A and B are shown apart, each in its own frame.
Chain A
Amino acid sequence: MTAESGIEPRGGGEPAEPLFELPPELAIDTAVARRVMVGFIRNQLAQAGFGRTLLGLSGGIDSALVAYLAAEAVGPENLLCVLMPYRTSSSESVADARTVVDRLGCASDLIDISPIVDGYFGSDGRSGAGGPGALEASQLRRGNFMARARMCSLYDRSVTWGGLVVGTGNKTESLIGYSTLFGDSACAFNPIGDLYKSQVRQVAAAVGVPEAIIRKAPSADLWPGQTDEAEAGFTYPELDRLLFWMIDKRRTDEELAAMGFRASAIERVKRLVAVSEFKRQVPPVAKLGPRTTGVDYLYPRRRPGSAR
């Protein structure tokens, strides 16, 4: 197997603007990655006794890639994509999500989460379940609530669909904690959680995710005009490179600085990683009994008798 560059759009003709920027050290063998991730989805479902899966499809690249991989793993007829826009969500996002559904030929559902969110925070000056104070809630509170409203809706649909929720978070956002705990990060398993955003783009291009989705600026779409890169203050290629050398390759601060990373960037990213450690781990349980889950009661998640 050979590595694909994945940087140039396919087809001949004039040299076009690259689809995305891929730092060379992050380039992976997309054929192997695809094979492993598709096998992982299939295996996780089979071991749990499920044949179907579902995911929240935002119109962004992460969930689009997972949709392509899931459709390949279990067939589009066993995949449900749930679109869960809020009334301020970009209409372009919904259109891009619909393109993915049409291309894959999978089932889809549209759940408008506006009444859930407005029912809590209130709207048009009338307070909701969250009381009068919630009318003034920050964008952050609203964004987190939306992510959790989507999680609730998705897990409810998992019952009627009879499938497991497949996760769509990538390694970059997980490491810097750019996700909502028990919100968008909630899932039964995650095939792309060890891929940096740049690598998500590389694999997405290789499996045929629509170019418009690969090109557009990543956004949590929690408020109009929000983009990840503006919020984080880094471009993804910069951030991915720094995380890769810092975490995967264990470079010290001094070594990172010698490689040309700004001291302020190193400091800031280290802090983001450290303060979000809690988001990447199962909540701790106080050790009291002779055998405690996760401490000295250690079994594989999937073992004889564990399938439903």
Chain B
Amino acid sequence: MQPLRIALAQLAPRLGVLSDNLAAHHRTLAEARSGGADLVVFPELGLTGYQLQDLAAEVAMSADDPRLLGLAAECGGMSAVVSFVEEAADHRLFISAALLEDGEVRFVHRKLFLPTYGLFDERRFFAAGDRLRATDSRLGLRIGLAVCEDFWHLAVPETLALDGAQILINVSSSPGRDLAAIHEVGLGTAASWRNLMRTYAQLTTSFVVFCNRVGMDETISFWGGSEVIAPSGEALFTAPLFDEGLHFVDVELGDVRRERIGLPLLRDERPELHLRELRRILAERTGVAADADGDASGADGAARDATHEAPAGHEAPAGHEAPAGHEAPAGHEAPAGREQP
């Protein structure tokens, strides 16, 4: 099998200067293409910079913005993941990552978990995404997209892998902090991330691709250290801390099969068990008692209210997944594809 060549674009975006960042993306795509890349991954908010605050609304664009389509047009026979501030039709702002392929915006993932604690204030400026699913790609495999903090929640890699993803891609703007010398790489943030990613790769028996930006926004330094992890949990490549660069990594897609045959963790997952217990937990949280099974219709109904009213999907314009209503106002779509009581 031909190896898949991944290009990690560990860039330093300029805060709020969309035109410069767009030009850097075009240059990088061209460089990645001449380097033979199949998949190019850019960092979270690579088109806008991270610490935007009230600038967010000024750099926002819709998922069918010509500037985004212009980048997609450079992705003939190539896949790219880019990230930007997405403005929905109802003017909610999302931190989004888009999969661009063959001139189209194939899929958009909206950041699900917005850290609003410590040095983070994302929930003040952005809306949280409502949907988590893997997507097919021209690469002949399914991809699971996640943005930074999404990976600090166990359900995200698990759900994406159960949905068929073989490559989990996390795009990040992770601020470096905690320089205590006890850490393996002198940076607490980097040590934590590395633990997470190796663990996820191993437990989901999937490739994990991590692209983290570098450079500074205001007082924050982003640490880079982008990585590709094999389904065995072994790091295949680690980019330098803090340096800008485009890094090529070849991976053997056959490793996914080999790992999953030898270590069939994904086969042995128990999503129905998980779902049943989650329903019970939700029922208890909402004050509706579950019966001994945790499966009573009353509890189930309550749980369904809590879990199924996800606001509508936000399929990208050229989306090829469910024909769900594009940009429907929140909460009106039928709960698609869940088991009925």
> In the complex, are the beta carbons of B15 and A303 less than 8 A apart?
yes
> In the complex, are the beta carbons of A1 and B185 less than 8 A apart?
yes
Other-chain contact of B186, A31, A40, A297 (Cβ < 8 Å): A31
Other-chain contact of A304, B16, B53, B181, B219 (Cβ < 8 Å): B16
| Interface flags, B161-177, vs A, CB<8A=1, else 0 | 00000000000000010
Q: Which residue of A lies closest to B242 (CB)?
A: A35
Kindly state whether residue A134 has any CB partner on chain B within 8 Å: no
| Interface flags, A1-24, vs B, CB<8A=1, else 0 | 111100000000000000000000
Kindly state whether residue A253 has any CB partner on chain B within 8 Å: no
Kindly state whether residue B180 has any CB partner on chain A within 8 Å: yes
Q: What separation, in Å, do the CA atoms of A28 and B181 have in the docked complex?
A: 4
Closest Cβ–Cβ distance, residue A244 to chain B (whole Å):
10
> In the complex, are the beta carbons of B54 and A36 less than 8 A apart?
no
Other-chain contact of A25, B55, B180, B215 (Cβ < 8 Å): B180
Q: Which residue of B lies closest to A31 (CB)?
A: B186
Q: Which residue of A lies closest to B176 (CB)?
A: A36
| Interface flags, A207-240, vs B, CB<8A=1, else 0 | 0000000000000000000000000000000000
| Interface flags, B30-54, vs A, CB<8A=1, else 0 | 0000000000000000000001111
Q: What separation, in Å, do the CA atoms of A302 and B16 have in the docked complex?
A: 9
The residues of B that contact A31 with a CB separation of less than 8 Å are: 186
> In the complex, are the beta carbons of A300 and B15 less than 8 A apart?
yes
> In the complex, are the beta carbons of B217 and A300 less than 8 A apart?
yes
* Given contacts A300-B218, A302-B15, A33 and B242 within 8 Å (CB-CB): no
Other-chain contact of B181, A27, A35, A36, A39 (Cβ < 8 Å): A27
> In the complex, are the beta carbons of A303 and B55 less than 8 A apart?
yes
> In the complex, are the beta carbons of A3 and B186 less than 8 A apart?
yes
Kindly state whether residue A43 has any CB partner on chain B within 8 Å: yes
Q: What separation, in Å, do the CA atoms of A298 and B179 have in the docked complex?
A: 28
Q: What separation, in Å, do the CA atoms of A1 and B16 have in the docked complex?
A: 32
* Given contacts A27-B181, A39-B216, A300 and B176 within 8 Å (CB-CB): no
* Given contacts A297-B54, A299-B54, A303-B55, A29 and B15 within 8 Å (CB-CB): no
Q: What separation, in Å, do the CA atoms of A2 and B182 have in the docked complex?
A: 9
Q: What separation, in Å, do the CA atoms of A200 and B218 have in the docked complex?
A: 22
Kindly state whether residue A308 has any CB partner on chain B within 8 Å: no
Among B1-34, those with CB < 8 Å from A are: 15-17
Other-chain contact of A40, B17, B53, B185, B219 (Cβ < 8 Å): B219
The residues of A that contact B17 with a CB separation of less than 8 Å are: 304
> In the complex, are the beta carbons of B179 and A300 less than 8 A apart?
no
> In the complex, are the beta carbons of A39 and B242 less than 8 A apart?
yes
* Given contacts A25-B180, A298-B54, A304-B17, A36 and B186 within 8 Å (CB-CB): no
The residues of A that contact B179 with a CB separation of less than 8 Å are: 28-29, 32-33, 36
Closest Cβ–Cβ distance, residue B188 to chain A (whole Å):
10
Q: Which residue of A lies closest to B219 (CB)?
A: A40
The residues of B that contact A29 with a CB separation of less than 8 Å are: 179-181, 183, 185-187
Closest Cβ–Cβ distance, residue A302 to chain B (whole Å):
7
Q: What separation, in Å, do the CA atoms of A29 and B190 have in the docked complex?
A: 13
> In the complex, are the beta carbons of A1 and B186 less than 8 A apart?
yes
Closest Cβ–Cβ distance, residue B263 to chain A (whole Å):
33
Closest Cβ–Cβ distance, residue A164 to chain B (whole Å):
15
Other-chain contact of A43, B55, B187, B216 (Cβ < 8 Å): B216
Closest Cβ–Cβ distance, residue B186 to chain A (whole Å):
3
Q: 24 A-B Cβ contacts within 8 A?
A: A1-B186, A1-B241, A2-B186, A3-B186, A25-B180, A28-B180, A28-B186, A29-B181, A29-B186, A32-B185, A32-B187, A33-B179, A36-B179, A36-B242, A39-B216, A39-B242, A40-B219, A40-B221, A43-B215, A298-B54, A300-B16, A300-B52, A304-B16, A304-B17
Residues of B within 8 A of A (CB): 15-17, 51-55, 176, 179-183, 185-187, 215-219, 221, 241-242
Nearest 9 CB-CB pairs, A to B? A29-B186, A3-B181, A28-B179, A27-B181, A298-B53, A32-B186, A43-B216, A303-B16, A36-B221
Q: Please give 13 more A-B residue pairs, beta carbons under 8 A apart, in addition to A29-B179, A36-B242.
A: A3-B186, A29-B187, A33-B179, A35-B241, A36-B179, A39-B242, A40-B219, A40-B221, A299-B53, A300-B16, A300-B52, A300-B55, A303-B15
